[in-house]
Amino acid sequence: MGILEVKGINKRFGGLQALGDVNLSVQENTVHAIIGPNGAGKSTLLNVLVGKLIPDSGSVMFDGKSVLGLKPFEITQMGISRVFQTPEIFINLTVMENVLIPCFAKRDGAYRLHALESFASEKDMIEQAEKMLEEVNMLDKRHMIASSMSRGDKRRLEMAMCLVQEPRLLLLDEPTAGMARADTENTIQLLKDIRTQRGITMAIIEHDMNVVFSLADRITVLAQGMPLVEDTPDKIKNHPKVREAYLGEAQV
């Protein structure tokens, strides 16, 4: 029984079958990659997992509980964090504030009116945020406004914002899309560190095969909204159907 169990998901947009009978089982402490050519339904699947889209049929269970019909913030509260293709951070706030917000969210739940409290009385939260920043080597940048950082740093900050909540499952949507080679390598290293140091389960959607094969324990290949095959990286590399449907064009 995996930590995330997706069974028989269907989703249609008008006449287009975006997802057809998709099954997915992500085991705890693994990195599970979902790959497929453009329009294969990867993003749709991700949006179903985080509650942004509701599928026509099927079930999504996280840790034995259904997440269907829950709002994104409720799903996040259950322990699923999401990293976006372009880093979604609070660009007009400082780095420190960016990390403080998820700290409060983790402690206080979805909402708490602490309108008259001051940060001086929130030493725990500040310590927690500073510790997190130290781990991602950004403590010296904590007073910087987030918008003035490089793209790589923004990605790192977003990751810190997710990690500080100690999620049980991290969903990554093409975390290296549009990155320079060096930034990509850094991100791969960052993800590897997260995995070895924290043992967080990850589901990753990725185009870059280099990233996929250096991280993934298992790979699911989607094509035209259908799961084509699911297996280990080695087997996937040599799978004839996959080569035909996907890798043939990408030339790994």
Partner 1 sequence: MLGLNSHDLKMFIVIAILTLAAPILLNPFPDASALGESFNAGYPALMQRFVIFGILVIGFNLLFGLTGYLSFGHAAFLGIGSYAAVWMFKLLSYNIVPAILLSVIVAGLVSVVIGYVSLRRSGIYFSILTLAFAQMMYAIAYSDLLGRMFGITVTNGETGLQVYNDDPQILMSAGDPTVPHLFGITMNGSSTWNVGGWSFIFQNGYYLSAIFMIAAFYLSIRIFRSPFGLMLRAIKSNQTRMHYTGLNTKPYMLAAFVISGMYAGLAGGLLSAMDPLTGAERMFWTASGEIVVMSILGGVGTLIGPVLGAGLIKYLENIVSKINDGILHNWFAFMPDWLDNLLVTIIHPFIGKGWHLTLGLLFMAVVIFLPGGLVEGGQRIGRLFRRKKSTDAANGATKPAE
Cα torsion angle, 76, 78, 82, 87, sign: positive
Contacting positions for partner 1 (CB under 8 A): 50, 71-74, 76-77, 81-82, 84, 88-93, 97, 100-102, 104-106, 109-111, 113-120, 122, 125, 161, 165
Give the shortest CB-206-to-partner 1 separation in angstroms: 19
126 C-beta neighbours (distance < 10 Å), count: 15
Q: Which of 112, 117, 156 is nearest to 134 (CA)?
A: 156
By beta-carbon proximity to partner 1, the closer residue of 40 and 171 is 171
Task: Return the number of the residue (102 or 175) whose C-beta is nearest partner 1.
Answer: 102
Shortest spacing between CB 108 and partner 1, in angstroms: 8
Residue 239 CB, nearest distance to partner 1 (Å)? Answer: 33
Pick between residue 18 and residue 161 the one whose CB is nearest to partner 1.
161
Q: Rounded distance, CA 144 to CA 149, Å?
A: 8
Distance of alpha carbon 232 from alpha carbon 220, whole angstroms: 9
Specify the residue, 162 or 190, whose C-beta has the smaller distance to partner 1.
162
Q: From CA 38, how far away is CA 42, in angstroms rounded?
A: 8
- In the complex, least distance from residue 172 CB atom to partner 1, rounded to whole angstroms: 12
- Cα–Cα distance for residue pair 160/193, rounded to 1 Å: 13
